Structure 1
Amino acid sequence: MEGKYVNESRAVKAAHVQPLDTNYHGTMFGGKLMSYIDDVAALSAIRHARKPVVTASTDSVDFLHPIKEGSSVCLESFVTYTHKTSMEVFVKVITEDLLTGERQLCATSFLTFVALGDDGRPVKVPPIIPESAEEKMLFESAEGRREIRKIRREDSRRFSQVFSLAQPWESSRS
């Protein structure tokens, strides 16, 4: 399968942060931003695979700076790494004070998506071809993040075996 350049998967989303998007501190709800992150990351994954995709995991969302009401938020995403049927997508979020023009990196995130065929089963995706220094750095460090995801997924499977058996009204002190 022929590789694809990172830029072929790049997606951008911008929004004006309105009062209903904010908490009582006047900053954007984390959950609202996470929804935007998942949405723009999915666009990148679909562009890369040219197939329907599902979110397999959100590895991290690191909130670095608050996003204030009245500001804009701009999200940029692109595929950084692929493995058989999965794609790692990086998202960076920039906030801008629309009155002063000051911009700050306010969040970063890594998500994993799986491409699906017509039968709803995972299908192979093209490899990624990084070009810029930023793309190469993310590509070269991706295998380490993939190993961490595997460990976390094994932990989640163990947790699900324990917690799926417990009833919410049962005390853990029994």
Structure 2
Amino acid sequence: MDKIFKSNKESEIILTELMLPSHSNFSGKIHGGFILSLMDKAAFASASKFSGLYCVTASVNRVDFLNPIEVGELVTMRARVNYVGNTSMVVGIRVESQNIQTGKVKHCNSSYFSMVAKDENGNSKQVPGLIIANKNDMRRFLRSIKRLKMRHERDHEFSADNFNPENYREDLDKYNIKFEI
């Protein structure tokens, strides 16, 4: 059987939703948790569209909320597969809000969701390969590789078996902490 390759354009999802008062927190801004839920839906849709399989969220790389989202704004999420492994994909999501009255658009956050494809029995399943069609595709793919490598190195360095507090005491001197160990 020949390996299947797909373009990340085949994974593109654009999700737009009006922000309602029921989505807001006590300060009148849209709840970050609500936005994360929408991002998870976009990541699921993008990964499932690309793989043709049911996908689950394995992890979410950092989410920095850059600008608040107001009630009454339109929020648009653009999701696309940036990286594929054997059974996993990294979906990049860009979140923007638009003031309907002024037309002003703000970048609210970007994040990366690691998704795993599953078969009908819940077992991980092979995903198509990714076609790298331009410099941006290559940059995003390589950025994902670097992020994954850094995560594995950090996990190894700070695992219970490898961690030695004495290696870090001097690094921690400039922080607002008091050692009691």
Q: Distance in 1 between matches of 2:50 and 2:33?
A: 26
2:110 alignment partner, SS class: strand
Of 12-21 and 149-158, more deviation after overlay is shown by: 149-158
Unaligned runs of 5+ in 2: 161-179
2:106 alignment partner, SS class: strand
Q: CA RMSD in A?
A: 1.9
TM-score normalised by structure 2 residue count: 0.81
Mapped pair 1:77 → 2:79: yes
- Where in structure 2 are the equivalents of 1:17-166 lying within 5 Å? 17-151=19-153
Structure number with greater Rg is 2
Q: Distance in 2 between matches of 1:60 and 1:46?
A: 22
Unaligned runs of 5+ in 1: 159-172
Structure-2 change in CA distance of 1:11 and 1:155 (3 Å): farther
Of 122-131 and 42-51, more deviation after overlay is shown by: 122-131
Q: Contact conserved, 1:76 with 1:91, CA < 8 A, in 2?
A: yes
Q: What percent identity do the matched residue pairs reach?
A: 29
Q: Distance in 1 between matches of 2:68 and 2:155?
A: 30
Give every structure 1 segment of 4 or more consecutive aligned residues whose post-TM-superposition deviation is greater than 4 Å: 151-158
* Paired amino acid for 1:4: K
Of 116-125 and 83-92, more deviation after overlay is shown by: 116-125
* Paired amino acid for 1:100: T
Structure-2 change in CA distance of 1:153 and 1:16 (3 Å): farther
